[in-house]
Amino acid sequence: MWWDKPLDTLSASEWESLCDGCGKCCLHKIQDEYSGDVWLTAVACEFLDPDCVRCREYPRRAEVQPACMIITPTAFPGILPALPNTCAYRLRWENKPLPVWHPLLHGGKQTQMTRCGHSVRDRVIGIEKMQDPEDEDEWEALIIPEWSDNGS
Ligand code: SF4
Ligand code: SF4
């Protein structure tokens, strides 16, 4: 299938279709200053629409959100630590198969992905819901280990 091809040979539409729409890359991350480990938290970027799990500013994302990860073939391998361990771009760059729940394997439907717990829908909050965004302990309590590279 086309998604088995190397990332840098995908067409623009294939590249966009490879994204599963999980939304995990749009979560705030925290990094251990000693180990360098990156952890995903349950706090979403302000531009992520929580209902459809799409970026409200996708064409302008680099402009409006300096922390946004712009994923391109040339962003590898440097971008790897910040990508969730299920990210389709990450898996294909590592020459691994897509997960069995990936929408491309289910006629474009996200039902299996959601059922298997890989969509941020209904699992994350906006930063305005935090009690104190300056509180490191609160951020640590919001880590989702199973979605982080350092998790399961
Ligand atoms: S983590 Fe990867 S597959 Fe999931 S939405 Fe982000 S870019 Fe797409
Ligand atoms: S600006 Fe970037 S991180 Fe924020 S929702 Fe859009 S794509 Fe995700």
Domains in the chain: boundaries: 2-147
The predicted structure's pLDDT at residue 126 = 93
In the predicted model, what is the mean pLDDT of the chain?
Answer: 93
Q: Ligand 1 in contact with 53 (CB < 6 A)?
A: no
Q: List the chain residues with pLDDT less than 70.
A: 149-152
Proximal ligand: closest to the CA of 29: 2
The predicted structure's pLDDT at residue 150 = 59
Proximal ligand: closest to the CA of 101: 1
Task: State how far the Cα of 138 lies from the Cα of 51, in Å rounded to an integer.
Answer: 24
pLDDT digits (tens, 9 = 90+) for 57-100: 999 999 999 999 999 999 999 998 889 999 999 999 999 999 99
Q: Ligand 1 in contact with 75 (CB < 6 A)?
A: no
The predicted structure's pLDDT at residue 43 = 97
Q: Strands of 52-111 (E only): list them.
A: 54-55
pTM value is: 0.91
